[in-house]
Amino acid sequence: MIAFVFPGQGSQYVGMGKDLSETAKDLFEIASDVLGFDLAKLCFDGPDSDLNKTENTQPAILTVSYALLREVLASGISPVFVAGHSLGEYTAAVCGGVFSFEDAVKITRKRGELMQKAQPEGKGAMAAVLGLDAITLKQICESITDFYVDLANLNCPGQIVISGEAEAVKKASELAKQKGAKKVVPLQVSIPSHCMLMREVAQEFEKYLQNFNFKNSKFPIVSNVDAEAVQDAEAILNALIKQLYSPVRWQDCVKYMISKAVDTFIEIGPGKVLSGLIKRIDPSVKVYNIENLNDLTSIKKEELK
């Protein structure tokens, strides 16, 4: 059985989606109208500095991912489950028909704007901790009482991201090394995603989402928040709100799908981050990556069931 998975922020790069300039011209035009600038030009030509602005990055990744998804579905490949890493959950929702592509562009733009303004520049931070288990890292975070830090992304065995106030992330990183972490990599972000510092903007985001009509999903969406499959419109809405300030339980999401007999994962969108994580979670499953039309041509030659 097949699951489609969609990447989140950090997978963007200048040149992404360039070979879709004709097949997805309509989608880039819709997104450009919503955003008020030429999104195709930004994705294809940059500059990096503009593409990497959160409020631009989110709708850009969504658009490229959805453009590729549309080609995949048209080729006759369809999923049993869909899931996305953080922002990628919005592409999963469009795949399920929860809201339209145009609405998804509006929603991800707003999400990016709210996340960007959640904390003053330099106050928040994130870091990837390699080679330490979740229980030990959680204890480290809880031991820091003068500032706030917590687990943000449980990506795969031996890779957990922490998020919070910059001072706390720094302290936790040092303690993690003392406790045996192989490596701690500060992430090049100023937004402390997926932790309680996002709670306030989540309330504002919830009000914004009331403007849209959510529908039940055609495919079960495996939610980041609890690693359970949801199809009900209200449950999806609640999960997307809670996702802003809750850890991304990606490892558990993948394990859940495998427990439901998924043996083939297709990552659709820029980059190969999720493909790498899935291989580390369970090396026995098949993993494919589609970030351009050539990748799709190669996959169509495979016997996918």
Residues 215 and 279 in one domain: yes
pLDDT in tens, 264-305: 999 999 999 999 999 999 999 999 999 999 999 998 877 664
Answer whether residue 170 is part of any domain.
yes
Answer whether residue 21 is part of any domain.
yes
Domain of 150?
124-186
Cis peptide before 7 (omega within 30 of 0): no
pLDDT in tens, 23-42: 999 999 999 999 999 999 99
Taking alpha carbons only, the member of 274, 279, 278 closest to residue 291 is 274
Strand segments (E) across 159-225: 159-165, 183-186, 221-222
Answer whether residue 168 is part of any domain.
yes
Residues 293 and 268: beta-carbon distance below 8 Å: no
Residues 140 and 243 in one domain: no
Answer whether residue 191 is part of any domain.
no
Answer whether residue 41 is part of any domain.
yes
Provide the pLDDT confidence category of residue 254 given band limits of 50, 70 and 90. very high
Residues 66 and 187: beta-carbon distance below 8 Å: no
Answer whether residue 166 is part of any domain.
yes
- Catalytic-labelled residue, pool 193, 194, 217, 246: 194
- Residue 303's pLDDT is 62
The domain that holds 155 is classified in CATH as 3.30.70.250
Total of domains in the chain: 2
Residues 131 and 264 in one domain: no
Residues 158 and 212 in one domain: no
Res 208 pLDDT > 80 = yes
Please confirm, yes or no, whether 194 is among the known catalytic residues.
Answer: yes
| Domain end marker among 186, 205, 238 | 186
Provide the pLDDT confidence category of residue 126 given band limits of 50, 70 and 90. very high
pLDDT > 70 fraction of the chain, expressed in percent and rounded: 99
Residues 35 and 295: beta-carbon distance below 8 Å: no
The domain that holds 267 is classified in CATH as 3.40.366.10
Residues 243 and 149 in one domain: no
Please confirm, yes or no, whether 86 is among the known catalytic residues.
Answer: yes
Question: Longest C-alpha distance within the chain, in Å?
Answer: 56
Taking alpha carbons only, the member of 260, 239, 194, 206 closest to residue 90 is 239
Residues 218 and 107 in one domain: yes
- Catalytic-labelled residue, pool 11, 32, 86, 173: 86
| Domain end marker among 138, 166, 186 | 186
What is the pTM for the complete model shown? Answer: 0.96
Answer whether residue 281 is part of any domain.
yes
Residues 29 and 113 in one domain: yes
Residues 131 and 105 in one domain: no
Beta strand pairing call for 81-84 and 2-6: parallel
How far is it, in rounded angstroms, from Cα 198 to Cα 162?
A: 14
Residues 8 and 93 in one domain: yes
Provide the pLDDT confidence category of residue 67 given band limits of 50, 70 and 90. very high
Residues 133 and 111 in one domain: no
Residues 238 and 217 in one domain: yes
Answer whether residue 305 is part of any domain.
no
Beta strand pairing call for 159-165 and 264-268: unpaired
Residues 112 and 255 in one domain: yes
| Domain end marker among 138, 153, 186 | 186
Mean pLDDT, the chain, whole residue set: 96
Provide the pLDDT confidence category of residue 122 given band limits of 50, 70 and 90. confident
Q: Which residues pair with 83 in a beta bridge?
A: 5
Q: Record the tokens describing residue 140, joined without a space.
A: 């480290």
For 197, list phi and psi in degrees, rounded to 5. Answer: -70, -15
